[in-house]
Chains A and B, each alone.
Chain A
Amino acid sequence: MSEPIEITFDEALYPKDAIYGAAYVLIDRCYVHLDRASENRITVKLQPKPGVTITAEQAIGEFQNEALGQAWRRQILEENRALIEMISSRALGGAAGPPGLDDLLALETSEDTAFDDPLGIAMSWEEKYKKKKPEETTPEDGKEEP
């Protein structure tokens, strides 16, 4: 079993969660111990477990790469958080399906909240296309008065 190697990370560059993520990736092959070197610095001690082929130097290199990748993924996530939340909420809203009867009954519909209908979409077919009675016709309809 090779000797343990220590490396110190600056939390301004590698957030604690990135270090945890890298540690979790290596924890099956190495003994990993974390300690705080100072207020913003974390020391990682790595030692390969007996029987694994990885050396301590290789483990440290892999840890650094993984920590960098984890930190970068977290930064991308933070930058796109608003977009991801918007897409997720729209997808969940769509999956909920059309409103049920209770939802429709709970809607506030009064004269104040009713919408304008300039195209007559809300009007029934019979109401919209019914034949007008003779007394309802006017000169504008194209018939002249005798």
Chain B
Amino acid sequence: MIEKRFHSDLYDGNAVDAAVRVYEGFGTFELEKTPEAFIVRIRANSGIDERRLADELANYALGTTIESRNVAGGHS
């Protein structure tokens, strides 16, 4: 199992949820929300590279976060 931590100041929660939905066919995911971060625990299905699945999920969450900020014209 791999645990990925997405700081809530840097990642959009909806983007993390979207990433989990996109990759849910490749493994099982457990989500936890703490005051500081969204935590995703990833277990890949057999035949799937767990490390790669976790990295792809993280990239998707980051890309969606950036795109949603650009659409909203957000600055902080």
Contact = CB atoms under 8 A, between A and B. Distances in A.
A35 interface: yes
A42 B11 CA distance: 12
B20 interface: no
A24 B10 contact: no
Interface of B: 4-5, 7, 9-11, 52, 55-56, 58-59, 62-63, 65-66, 69, 75-76
B51 to A, nearest CB: 9
Nearest to A33: B58
Contacts of A21: 66
Main secondary structure of the interface of B (DSSP, over half): helix
A125 B5 CA distance: 81
Max chain A Cβ within 10 angstroms of own Cβ: one of B55, B56, B58, B69: B55
B55 A31 contact: yes
Given A17-B75, A20-B69, A35-B5, A27 B62 contact: yes
